[in-house]
């Protein structure tokens, strides 16, 4: 492989980033991905500050390789989280859901590399202006929180690639080597993968949730809660209840009330497949095994390179 901007930036061997996911990506998953040559991220979105510190410390014990933390900038204890991240000398931070201007330079002053997640070219340009080191552009097919414009990865990546000069990671719909090769063809320097890692051995998702992912089929996820914050969910009783209310034009207040508290924990961490919130991407339809994070990284990377080789043979050979 020639010099890859993502590998150089994060000092990793394979340009595969494991997305930080609430209730699924603790230190075990992050360390396993980093040990496999990719970049693992601890998902701080579901962690109290002291819990995050524990995960960072354990991750440092479990790997000597670079790892990162994903921080949603709208997190209430954001100041405390960032303080811990800087104190613990985390080398890489991925931020999302907020303004990249607020934290980027402070983190960089502490020697931290910063990437920010967006769902449009417009925000990708704002990230570049804010001085981030890399952008993650995430399409409509991604699990969890999602953009309002519903731009798919296939349309988003070439647009962002031509709008910015800094390194670009493609996210949303990437769970295979074929999809990774496609994203590289679209102009990404690497990929961020979420759903495929949720179903890994080292993920902290409840086993029932992992098994439900294996049985998911095409059309089993839906972008929901559009009148609050759009989020892609696996269909279940809870998601259907929300969808029905939305189709009837329910107010935000009614939706917030039904949503209640701790729905995501209940679904993904505690395994309540009926009343819990199950965040997962469209690629869940094609996940059919629970294997180690290392196997996922190797399989996707090797398949990606094979696809590129095959393309070359078929069309330029």
Give the Cα separation of 26 and 57 in Å (integer): 11
Helix (H) or strand (E) holding 93: strand 92-96
Residues touching its own copies, count (CB under 8 A): 57
Nearer to its own copies, 4 or 108 (CB): 4
Q: Which of 120, 146, 204, 236 binds its own copies (CB under 8 A)?
A: 120
Q: Which of residues 259-298 bind its own copies (CB under 8 A)?
A: 282-283, 285-286
Q: Rounded CA gap, 272 and 249, in Å?
A: 27
Q: Among the candidate windows 39-47, 145-153, 254-262, 271-279, which touches its own copies by CB under 8 A?
A: 145-153
Candidate list 141, 202, 272, 277; residue touching its own copies; CB under 8 A: 141
Residue 15 vs 276, nearer CB to its own copies? 15
Nearest to 12 by CA among 20, 22, 3: 3
Q: Which of the residues 237 through 256 are near its own copies (CB under 8 A)?
A: 247-249
Question: Of 106 and 122, which has the nearer Cβ to its own copies?
Answer: 122
Burial code (b: 16+ CB inside 10 Å, e: under 16) for 199-232 equals bbebbbbbebbbebbeebeeebbbbbbeeeebbb
Q: How far apart are CA 242 and CA 215, in angstroms?
A: 22
Cβ burial, residue 317 (10 Å; 0-12/13-18/19+): exposed
Q: What angle is formed at CA 71 by the lines to CA 68 and CA 74, rounded to 5 degrees?
A: 170
CB of 119 to its own copies, least distance (A): 9
* 192 belongs to the binding site for its own copies (CB under 8 A): no
Q: Does 149 bind its own copies (CB under 8 A)?
A: yes
- Least CB distance to its own copies at residue 147 (A): 8
Label the pairing between strands 221-224 and 231-234: antiparallel
Helix (H) or strand (E) segment spanning residue 155: helix 153-163
Candidate residues 181, 216, 225, 231; the one interacting with its own copies per rule CB under 8 A: 181
At closest approach, how far in Å is the CB of 256 from its own copies?
A: 17
Q: In what order do the strands lie in the sheet with 231-234?
A: 144-145, 231-234, 221-224
Looking at beta carbons only, is 76 or 313 nearer to its own copies?
313
Shortest distance, CB of residue 30 to its own copies, whole angstroms?
25
Near its own copies by CB under 8 A: residue from 64, 185, 214, 228 = 185
Residues 96 and 145: beta-carbon distance below 8 Å: yes
Look-up of token digits 């998601």: 239
Q: Pick from 60, 101, 208, 222: which binds its own copies (CB under 8 A)?
A: 222
Tell me whether residue 261 or residue 315 sits nearer to its own copies (CB atom).
Answer: 315
Judged by the rule CB under 8 A, the positions of this chain that interact with its own copies are 1-2, 4, 120-122, 139-141, 148-156, 158-159, 161, 172-174, 176, 178-179, 181-187, 218-219, 222-223, 247-249, 282-283, 285-286, 304-305, 307-309, 311-317
């Amino acid at each position: 492989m020639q010099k890859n901007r993502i590998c150089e930036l994060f000092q990793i061997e394979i340009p595969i980033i494991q997305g930080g996911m609430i209730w699924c990506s603790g230190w075990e998953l992050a360390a396993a991905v980093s040990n496999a040559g990719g970049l693992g991220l601890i998902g701080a979105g579901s962690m109290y500050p002291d819990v995050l510190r524990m995960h960072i410390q354990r991750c440092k014990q479990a790997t000597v390789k670079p790892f990162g933390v994903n921080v949603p900038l709208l997190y209430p204890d954001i100041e405390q989280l960032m303080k811990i991240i800087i104190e613990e000398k985390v080398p890489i931070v991925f931020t999302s859901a907020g303004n990249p201007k607020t934290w980027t330079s402070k983190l960089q002053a502490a020697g931290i590399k910063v990437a920010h997640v967006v769902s449009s070219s417009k925000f990708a340009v704002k990230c570049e202006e804010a001085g981030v080191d890399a952008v993650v552009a995430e399409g409509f097919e991604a699990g969890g929180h999602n953009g309002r414009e519903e731009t798919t990865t296939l349309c988003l990546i070439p647009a962002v690639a031509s709008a910015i000069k800094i390194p670009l990671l493609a996210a949303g719909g990437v769970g295979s080597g074929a999809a990774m090769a496609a994203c590289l063809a679209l102009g990404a320097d690497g990929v961020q993968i979420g759903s495929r890692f949720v179903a890994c051995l080292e993920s902290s998702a409840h086993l029932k949730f992992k098994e439900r992912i294996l049985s998911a089929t095409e059309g089993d996820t839906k972008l929901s809660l559009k009148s609050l914050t759009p989020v892609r969910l696996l269909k279940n009783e809870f998601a259907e209840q929300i969808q029905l209310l939305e189709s009837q034009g329910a107010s935000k207040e009614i939706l917030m009330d039904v949503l209640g508290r701790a729905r995501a924990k209940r679904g993904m961490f505690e395994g309540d497949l009926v009343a819990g919130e199950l965040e997962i991407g469209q690629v869940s339809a094609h996940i059919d095994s629970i294997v180690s994070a290392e196997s996922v990284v190797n399989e996707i990377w090797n398949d990606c390179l094979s696809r590129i080789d095959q393309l070359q043979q078929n069309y330029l050979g």
